[in-house]
């Protein structure tokens, strides 16, 4: 009897340990991919005529094995929590998983999977039925510069809908190979804002997410180099997007009420734009910003000399935030150290255990927003 009980307990324990839940990123009714309590993901695809199927996720490829019906299944090692792009490799061709939602990243629509954190840790980016919710509005507008329709995502806070107040605006940029949908779909920015505002940590604000013209690989457009990659976004932002937002929404339209932040290449763009337009922006943040300072750089000459007069800069810019993950090497720590050495006020934040990925950026946004528009 005791032996049977022990066996039963052991079985139950292993079932708990390996209980698999469909990923939150799946399309309706799909059981695969699923994730176990240790963060192992199991993938499945029907491919009777294929000779080799793998899953490519978190910089590693895992083989899938075929059953007698031609259905391939395979399980990864435990994966880091958070959101990861992935692809299936069918006879060497990168394909999306038909069971998964797709996300614009890596310059194409690609599969993505959420490896869940503990609910209490994930609470800040999780929908909470108990707090009021803002809206994410998709706005189409005509660009005279591009002679084309463009799309802008605009988050309005919960109280916006019924009130008459005007709000400050954060311009928030995605990274290379992504577009205006990234912060909403991969980043859960609406939940982060809703929760932070409801907790009284952040002031109600409007967040504008537009396409930074960097949704494809380096130099893919004629004449574009690493130096001017995505720079066609800057006149758009200054001359068309900001005026469009200020015409369309109830917005406080001055530098004290205008912030800019961005992830990865969007961080690069943030410094390019905000530091050379200090009459327009008073708050700024880079999240794993692609800003690499060479050894020996004279910081006082960067960005048209924005950092040359520290006292003046510190009076003008009320919050300068640079964050990154502990597992990446994007130089935000070194950059902030250099700024401190010349007397510039700047805040460094390190996301523990994460690399160049959306969990780093969700955390950065959550750390950044409580400090802006308060003076």
Least separation, in Å, of the C-beta of 133 and a copy of itself? 6
Q: Name the residue nearer to a copy of itself (CB basis): 128 or 316.
A: 128
Q: Name the residue nearer to a copy of itself (CB basis): 11 or 46.
A: 46
Q: Name the residue nearer to a copy of itself (CB basis): 51 or 65.
A: 51
Least separation, in Å, of the C-beta of 170 and a copy of itself? 18
Least separation, in Å, of the C-beta of 332 and a copy of itself? 28
Q: Name the residue nearer to a copy of itself (CB basis): 20 or 128.
A: 128
Q: Name the residue nearer to a copy of itself (CB basis): 216 or 348.
A: 216
Q: Name the residue nearer to a copy of itself (CB basis): 7 or 220.
A: 220
Q: Name the residue nearer to a copy of itself (CB basis): 107 or 314.
A: 107
Q: Which residues pair with 45 in a beta bridge?
A: 72
Least separation, in Å, of the C-beta of 141 and a copy of itself? 7
Least separation, in Å, of the C-beta of 151 and a copy of itself? 10
Least separation, in Å, of the C-beta of 303 and a copy of itself? 27
Q: What are the residues binding a copy of itself (CB under 8 A)?
A: 27-29, 45, 47-51, 90-96, 98-102, 104, 107-109, 127, 129, 133, 135-142, 149, 161, 179, 184, 190, 215-216, 220-221, 248-249
Least separation, in Å, of the C-beta of 24 and a copy of itself? 10
Q: Are strands 206-210 and 169-173 parallel, antiparallel or unpaired?
A: parallel
């Amino acid at each position: 009897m005791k032996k049977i009980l022990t066996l039963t307990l052991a079985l139950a324990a292993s079932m708990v340990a390996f209980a698999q839940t469909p990923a939150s990123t799946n399309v309706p009714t799909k059981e695969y991919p699923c994730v176990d309590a240790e963060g192992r993901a199991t993938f499945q695809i029907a491919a009777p005529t294929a000779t080799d199927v793998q899953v490519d996720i978190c910089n590693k490829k895992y083989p899938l094995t075929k059953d007698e019906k031609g259905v391939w299944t395979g399980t990864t090692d435990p994966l880091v929590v958070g959101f990861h792009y992935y692809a299936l490799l069918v006879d060497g061709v990168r394909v999306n998983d038909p069971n998964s939602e797709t996300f614009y990243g890596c310059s194409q629509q690609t599969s993505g999977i959420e490896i869940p954190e503990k609910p209490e840790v994930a609470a800040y980016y999780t929908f909470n039925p108990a707090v009021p919710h803002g809206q994410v509005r998709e706005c189409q507008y005509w660009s005279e510069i591009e002679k084309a329709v463009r799309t802008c995502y605009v988050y309005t806070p919960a109280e916006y809908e019924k009130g008459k107040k005007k709000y400050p605006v954060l311009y928030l940029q995605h990274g290379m190979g992504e577009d205006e949908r990234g912060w909403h779909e991969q980043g859960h920015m609406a939940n982060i804002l809703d929760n932070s505002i409801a907790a009284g940590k952040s002031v109600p604000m409007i967040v504008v997410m537009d396409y930074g013209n960097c949704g494809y690989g380096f130099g893919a457009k004629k004449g574009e180099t690493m130096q001017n990659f995505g720079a066609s976004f800057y006149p758009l932002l200054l001359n068309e997007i900001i005026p469009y937002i200020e015409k369309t929404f109830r917005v406080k339209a001055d530098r004290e009420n205008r912030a800019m932040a961005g992830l990865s290449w969007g961080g690069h763009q943030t410094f390019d734009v905000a530091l050379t337009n200090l009459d327009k922006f008073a708050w700024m943040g880079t999240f794993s910003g692609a800003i690499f300072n060479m050894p020996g750089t004279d910081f006082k000459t960067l960005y048209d000399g924005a950092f040359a007069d520290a006292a003046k800069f510190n009076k003008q810019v009320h919050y300068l935030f640079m964050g990154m993950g502990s597992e990446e090497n994007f130089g935000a720590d070194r950059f902030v150290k250099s700024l401190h050495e010349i007397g510039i006020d700047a805040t460094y934040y390190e996301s523990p255990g994460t690399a160049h990925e959306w969990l780093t950026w969700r955390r950065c946004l959550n750390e950044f927003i409580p400090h802006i528009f308060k003076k």
